[in-house]
Structure 1
């Protein structure tokens, strides 16, 4: 047998990060059933939208038996359990909207939720890793991975727009996969000084960033802005930096003091963190601190991948040291596509949050026929914030503007996208 290549240990690969060549960060083939012992959880979690609507969810959860998490053995079992417990928790906290929030999560939900969260290295709140990465199934197992063939495992109040929001986000994750696969090629190419390999891999990253933007455009077709803003958004909100729950939430049987956790946020997706680290995008001060904190809401292996990409020799420095026009162009195109994606995301947030927020303020000011408009029921406290707790437009524009700084100096201003 041939001796192993002495360089093989130095090569960077995705093998140890819970990332697959086909699906990237998406959990492959999520389970749909837990062991029978956990049926009481599944029975309630699958009915969260209707039980919230009838104001009965808190009652059903309060009556639920306290189950041990010890019979959950495999990773996919733990992920399904975390998803089910997360959906129940969001429904429980926000069943009555912003005006009748709870101070305590009952021990029969809080204790197993905490245990499962500790085992997975995730916080006890609904995260992107739950609602998007582990919350899907194909209607036809042999069929395509597209909007027509995808279904949610669990939903939240908001009807078809909930499915649209999570499934489109899932397709954005899928669009990134070829780019993710090429990150090790870039890193190893830099180490070997192979400019052609690096440039070709950056072309693939560039195409993925374009495909992610194109996937995000599906939001317009599948999510109704007034439903997202007026109904869905509160169920994605957390109890950190949220005026509705200023002290956080007590997890009964876990800790006597309230704990604070951020709600779901696009910043909890590992994708842009990986591409930022690869391309040398630096986020300063407040926005950087928020992005770094959001890494605590990712599966530990994904968090580790971002960290390990950041510790590799600088791609940008490598590009600047090479006399390769092809390599320079490939790098510039990547940063430009990342800028365009962030600019489009600002556009989406404006359509789904800023515009409905203005409409809601107008309606509240007029105080007439309030019930006629869904968005009038939206929580006033969230008007200027993302569900993760950030001041949303300021944050997104700062992050977008800091992406520009990654461009190489000779990039002409005319080619920079702007919103």
Structure 2
């Protein structure tokens, strides 16, 4: 591979982004080599016996015993060297996924009455996860890449990689179809995103962008982009039919929390590792989707409110976490960030072209409008699955009543603001992102 600083976005498209699967690998490997079977076996066992620790009451002796035995076995595992994984990015990705799932299982299976503000991640998990994360240049925590990009396999290995031939949610926390469907919905957006990435590459591969033929080509590309975004928005909206909000909020979402993700989330301490405050440990978020970041870069959406655009940001926009999207990039694999960085430093920014070329402006604004429509739907979905559930007093089916009452009591004593997986104030953030998208449109 050429040195990174010599690669154009088009060249990076061919070296970092798959022409068939985009930011998804061509096919994840199903299991690590035998030398790492202790990790794989522990993950299989976790999915069989562990439940959320905050759902375990003092009377639930068997659940407590199963969890304590599993965690003691994790503590007793040796620190396995990752030297045999270093030469293969696919093995490193699998190792990151397995180890990150194990860490989240370890932390969130501990009964809530046994945590005192912090949890020690044993060196058997901490040491290899930190090492693998350093090589992949990504956060040592469960990420969007682990749960979506790398969490699938082929139904029929003899057939091509298509959405119909992909089985999502290979690793699950709750074991529910709602959780599997949640990952499927996110993954379907990523598969649709492959077409967007191909489109961005076509734009950057044009010999020039000023002659009549090129302008016509750009308008056709933007028309295709709007059609793709309409399908992305439909996919997001269809989640309401596939994922029960109460199951997601009470049985699935708590597993995602990273270190100090909320008032009731303990701080993680990596045994023999650096101070947790120096690490990115929020947990997975759709804000870590590399393809959606690529879309925002392509259209030049200004989330950090650094550009003078109309209308001026509202006071609530300014109160939002304007650095959130930039921070989420640190959770991506480093190679994905390389692609995004070069896409952002292009010598032919699309928005500037649309500003100076009236024939492109309408098509550009239509694409911006389609992204805003998607973000409006995202706000409605977030309100349904997070905000309304946080305020609900209904006890979800399948969850211990006493444990649910305890969780509701803890929530009542919190700030009253619904937070995203990364601990941000969700409604404020999503509305700010929606408004930043709208401001990208070129006014007359």
Alpha carbons 1:23, 1:177 under 8 Å: kept? yes
What residue number does 2:38 align with?
Answer: 40
Secondary structure at the aligned position of 2:10 is classed as: coil
What residue number does 1:69 align with?
Answer: 82
CA–CA distance in 1 between the matches of 2:27 and 2:105?
A: 25
CA–CA distance in 2 between the matches of 1:243 and 1:93?
A: 15
Note the C-alpha offset of 1:272: 2.0
1:175 paired residue among 167, 185, 192:
192
Note the C-alpha offset of 1:191: 4.4
Q: Figure out how many residues of one structure are paired with residues of the other and give that number.
A: 395
1:202-351 correspondence runs (5 A): 202-245=222-265, 248-255=267-274, 259-260=278-279, 261-284=281-304, 286-312=320-346, 313-324=348-359, 327-351=360-384
Note the C-alpha offset of 1:147: 6.5
Note the C-alpha offset of 1:388: 1.4
CA–CA distance in 1 between the matches of 2:250 and 2:152?
A: 24
Cα distance change on mapping 1:315 and 1:354 into 2, 3 Å: same
1:129 paired residue among 139, 145, 158:
145
Alpha carbons 1:107, 1:251 under 8 Å: kept? yes
Q: Can you give the 5+ residue segments of structure 1 that lack an aligned partner in the other structure?
A: 1-7, 411-419
1:367-406 correspondence runs (5 A): 371=401, 377=407, 380=411, 384-406=418-440
CA–CA distance in 2 between the matches of 1:135 and 1:45?
A: 14
Secondary structure at the aligned position of 2:83 is classed as: coil
CA–CA distance in 2 between the matches of 1:228 and 1:374?
A: 14
CA–CA distance in 2 between the matches of 1:293 and 1:25?
A: 19
Q: Can you give the 5+ residue segments of structure 2 that lack an aligned partner in the other structure?
A: 1-5, 52-62, 306-319
The root-mean-square deviation of aligned C-alpha atoms, in Å, is 2.8
Secondary structure at the aligned position of 1:68 is classed as: coil
Matched, 1:159 2:172: no
Q: Point out which structure has higher relative CO (alpha carbons under 8 A, 6+ apart).
A: 2
Deviations, residues 285-315 of structure 1 (Å, cap 9, x unaligned): 6533111011000111111222212112331
CA–CA distance in 1 between the matches of 2:258 and 2:193?
A: 27
**TM-score, length basis structure 2:** 0.82
**TM-score, length basis structure 1:** 0.86
CA–CA distance in 2 between the matches of 1:264 and 1:396?
A: 16
2:392 paired residue among 341, 355, 359:
359
Deviations, residues 393-414 of structure 1 (Å, cap 9, x unaligned): 110001001111011214xxxx
What residue number does 1:113 align with?
Answer: 129
Secondary structure at the aligned position of 1:288 is classed as: coil
Secondary structure at the aligned position of 1:249 is classed as: strand
Shifted more, 220-229 versus 190-199: the winner is 190-199
Shifted more, 40-49 versus 91-100: the winner is 91-100
Shifted more, 342-351 versus 302-311: the winner is 302-311
2:104 paired residue among 81, 90, 101:
90
Note the C-alpha offset of 1:113: 1.0
Alpha carbons 1:17, 1:305 under 8 Å: kept? no
Secondary structure at the aligned position of 1:218 is classed as: helix
Deviations, residues 35-74 of structure 1 (Å, cap 9, x unaligned): 1010010001123233323342323312323211111131
Shifted more, 173-182 versus 148-157: the winner is 148-157
CA–CA distance in 2 between the matches of 1:292 and 1:357?
A: 27
